[in-house]
Amino acid sequence: MVELYEAMSSLRAVRRLKSDPIPAAIMARVLQAAAWAPTGGNVQPFRIVVVKSREKLEKIEAWYQQEWARYTVGMRSAVDLSDNDNPTVRTLKAGDYLANHLHDVPALLVFCFNPEHMAITDAGLDRPSVVGGGSVYTAVQNTMLACRAEGLGCVLTTLLCFREAEMKSLLGIPPEWGTCAHIPIGYPILRGHGPISRRPVNKLAYFDSWGDAEI
């Protein structure tokens, strides 16, 4: 039983996960949290493939390692990798750990969505569309908060979108569905969830006009 604000305020990205299995009752509660999420028209245009197969995770890990290496080239060259006090270095090392251990996480939650079942109101605008995410990432956030409540580490990743074709083939995902979140979950090796660092609210919220912070 975790209080809502306590869960939200201590939900960290946890990338070092034990391989210990997750009891079925706990996994069921995590998935139930996803199912409770609001979606446009209550259509629930998402599905979750819970990957536990070691064989499949090994294939996914190989793809993830390639994308993680590619994604972090610039970050690596911009820092002194021996400086463990640098937050970027710490994130890189935690990410490297995840990339090298994705094969033995107890579960990888692959969130799928069907754009045909969504009213994507910003599809015609001259900027990147995000509104389809409004019917999936609500469930993703519920899932991660549930992990926090259950003592499970988790982290939202999206790099495997670069390998969506391979992922869909591996998991048998139908043509009309896409993938948009890949969340490894498991018990934390280190301290797990805890304090988080965020901007103060008055840098994020304005009243009545952009830039007018009143709180």
Query: Binding pattern to its own copies, positions 78-117, x when CB under 8 A?
Result: ----------------------------------xx-x--
Minimum distance between the CB of residue 82 and its own copies, rounded to whole angstroms?
22
Find the helix or strand (DSSP H, E) in which 98 lies.
helix 87-101
Residue with structure tokens 């008055």?
202
Residue 100 C-beta: closest distance to its own copies, Å = 20
Which residues within the stretch 9-68 sit at the binding site for its own copies (CB under 8 A)?
9, 11, 13, 24, 27-29, 31-38, 40, 42, 44, 46-53, 56
In Å, what is the CA distance from 154 to each residue of 11, 70, 105, 111? Answer: 9, 22, 10, 14
- What residue type is assigned to position 73 of the chain? V
Angle at 199 between CA 195 and CA 204, to 5 degrees: 135
Interactions with its own copies, residue window 121-150 (CB under 8 A): 121-123, 125, 127-134, 136-138, 140-142, 144-146, 149
Nearer to its own copies, 96 or 134 (CB): 134
Report 148-207 residues binding its own copies (CB under 8 A): 149, 156, 158-159, 161-162, 164, 171-174, 178, 180-181, 196-201, 204-207
> Any contact of residue 73 with its own copies (CB under 8 A)?
no
Distance of closest approach, residue 56 Cβ to its own copies, in angstroms: 6
Positive or negative: CA dihedral 188, 97, 154, 108: negative
Residues 6+ apart with CB under 8 A from 63: 160, 163, 166, 167
Q: How far is the CB of 208 from its own copies (least distance, A)?
A: 5
- How many Cα atoms sit within 13 Å of 185 on the Cβ side? 29
